[in-house]
A and B are shown apart, each in its own frame.
Chain A
Amino acid sequence: MSERKIVLSAKDIEVKFRVRDNYLTAIRNVSIDLYDGETFAIVGESGSGKSVFTKTFTGMLETNGQISNGSIMFDGKDLTQLKTDKDWEGIRGKKISTIFQDPMTSLNPIRTIGSQITEVITKHQGVSASEAKAQAIEIMTRVGIQNAEHRFDEYPFQYSGGMRQRIVIAIALSCHPEILICDEPTTALDVTIQAQILELIKDLQKELKFTAVYITHDLGVVASVADRVGVMYGGQIVEYGTVEDIFYDPKHPYTWALLSSLPQLGEKGKDLYYITGTPPSLYNKIIGDAFAPRNEHALKIDFVEEPPFFKVSDTHYAKTWLLDPRAPKLEKPEVINNLHEKIKKMTSKGGAFYVE
Chain B
Amino acid sequence: MRTFIRQLRPALVALAVFTVLLGVVYPMLTTLIGQVAFGDKADGSLVRRDGQVVGSELIGQSFTSPQYFHSRPSAAGTGYDGAASSGSNLGPLSPDFLAAVDERVAEYRAVNGLSDDVLVPVDAVTASSSGLDPHISVANARLQAARVARVRGLEVDVVLALVGEHTDGRTFGLLGEPGVNVLMLNLALDDLSAAG
- Same complex origin of A and B: no
Q: Which residues of B contact A (CB under 8 A)?
A: none
Q: Which residues of A contact B (CB under 8 A)?
A: none
